C-alpha cells in the first residue's frame, strides 16, 4: 500500500534577532529555535537571509567603519563542526530546516542557503545567484549549482528557496516554479513597509550598536521584522508579529489549496506555451581551473 502524503503541513517561520557576528552563539540560538519549533509541532522551520552571523548592514552606506574580518571569522562553513551541529539538531528533533547564512568558503564569502531534511542531511546547498547592489563589495556570485534549489522532503513536500532580490529575476523564478514547489521559502534580511523617507531596512538596538549603523541613512532604527506566510493564491495565511518583537509564526498549510490555484492558473502547465517560449538552463558548476 503506497504512502499518501498528508494534505496538511505545520510550518514555522522565525522572526528573531541574530546573534550578531558571533558564530558559536548563532549556532546555539539556531539549535534552540529548531528544538522549539519542533516541540510546537512544526515539520519545517525557516530562517532569514544571512541569519548566521547576521546581515552586514554597514555595507549600505559609505563610512570608515566596516567589519570584514569579523563577519569572515564568524561566517559558517558548509563542511564544519558548526554546520554538523545544526544538522544534528534537525535530526534530533525530526524537523526540516531552511537555513540562510553567510558562507565562508576558503576565505571568500557567499550569501548561501541550505535545506536540511529531518534526518539531518543537507539536501540543497546553494548560493545567491547574484549578490545585490552593495552586497557585491563583500559577497561573491554563485554558479550552476545555485539552480538546484528545490527538493522533495518526506512529510513536507517539495521545498524550494530563493534569497532576497533573486525574487526579482523572472527567469530564475520560472525555473523554480518548474521544479514543482509545494512550499517556497523566500529569505530576506529585515525589511519593513516603506515610510516615504530615505530608509529601507532596520534592525535591533544591539544590531545597530554592533554594526555601528546609527549614523547611517539606512538600518539605523530599531524594528524591521516582517515575517509572514502566504497561500498559493497570494492570500495571507499567517500575519507577522510586531516588527520589534521576536517570535515564531506558525501555520497549518492546506496543500490541496495548491491544486485549486493550479486549476485556475498554472504558468508552467496549461497556461504556458513552450512551443513559443521556453527557458534554457545551464546547471553545470563552473570551476576556476579546467
CA distance 288 to 213: 36
CA distance 202 to 142: 27
Residue 100 near residue 113 (C-beta atoms within 8 A): yes
Residue 203 near residue 222 (C-beta atoms within 8 A): yes
**50 catalytically annotated:** no
Helix or strand or coil: residue 221? coil
Cell numbers given for 239 = 500575519
- What beta strand segments (E) does 49-182 contain? 96-105, 108-116, 122-127, 150-153, 157-163
Q: Which of 128, 130, 135, 181 is catalytic?
A: 128
Q: Return all residues near 111 (Cβ < 8 A) that are at least 6 apart.
A: 49, 50, 100, 102, 103, 127, 128, 131, 135, 139, 163, 164
Element (H, E) at 244: none
**128 catalytically annotated:** yes
CA distance 232 to 254: 10
CA distance 155 to 157: 6
Cell numbers given for 11 = 510550518
Q: Which of 103, 164, 166, 181 is catalytic?
A: 164
Q: Which of 29, 31, 49, 166 is catalytic?
A: 49
How big, in percent rounded to 5, are the helix, strand and coil portions of the chain? 25, 25, 50
**49 catalytically annotated:** yes
Cell numbers given for 101 = 547564512
Catalytic residue annotation: 49, 128, 164
Amino acid at each position: 500500500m503506497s504512502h499518501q502524503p498528508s494534505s496538511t503541513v505545520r510550518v514555522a517561520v522565525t522572526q528573531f534577532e541574530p546573534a550578531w557576528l558571533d558564530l558559536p552563539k548563532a549556532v546555539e540560538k539556531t539549535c534552540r529555535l529548531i528544538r522549539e519549533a519542533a516541540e510546537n509541532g512544526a515539520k519545517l522551520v525557516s530562517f532569514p537571509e544571512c541569519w548566521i552571523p547576521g546581515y552586514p548592514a554597514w555595507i549600505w552606506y559609505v563610512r570608515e567603519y566596516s567589519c570584514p574580518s569579523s563577519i569572515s571569522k564568524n561566517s559558517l562553513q558548509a563542511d564544519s563542526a558548526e554546520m554538523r551541529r545544526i544538522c544534528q539538531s534537525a535530526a534530533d528533533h525530526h524537523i526540516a530546516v531552511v537555513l540562510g547564512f553567510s558562507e565562508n568558503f576558503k576565505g571568500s564569502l557567499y550569501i548561501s542557503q541550505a535545506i536540511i531534511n529531518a534526518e539531518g542531511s543537507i539536501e540543497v546547498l546553494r548560493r545567491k545567484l547574484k549578490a545585490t547592489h552593495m552586497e557585491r563589495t563583500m559577497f561573491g556570485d554563485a554558479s550552476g549549482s545555485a539552480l538546484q534549489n528545490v527538493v522533495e522532503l518526506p512529510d513536507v513536500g517539495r521545498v524550494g528557496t530563493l534569497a532576497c532580490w533573486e525574487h526579482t529575476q523572472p527567469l530564475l523564478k520560472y525555473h523554480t516554479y518548474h521544479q514543482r514547489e509545494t512550499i517556497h521559502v523566500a529569505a530576506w534580511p529585515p525589511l519593513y513597509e516603506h515610510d516615504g523617507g530615505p530608509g529601507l531596512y532596520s534592525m535591533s538596538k544591539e544590531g545597530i550598536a554592533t554594526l555601528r549603523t546609527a549614523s547611517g541613512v539606512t538600518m539605523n532604527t530599531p524594528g524591521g521584522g516582517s515575517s509572514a506566510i502566504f497561500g498559493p493564491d497570494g492570500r495571507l495565511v499567517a500575519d507577522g508579529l510586531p516588527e520589534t518583537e521576536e517570535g515564531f509564526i506558525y501555520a497549518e498549510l492546506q496543500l490541496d489549496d495548491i491544486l485549486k490555484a493550479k486549476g485556475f492558473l498554472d504558468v508552467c502547465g496549461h497556461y504556458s506555451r513552450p512551443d513559443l517560449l521556453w527557458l534554457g538552463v545551464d546547471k553545470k558548476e563552473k570551476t576556476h581551473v579546467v
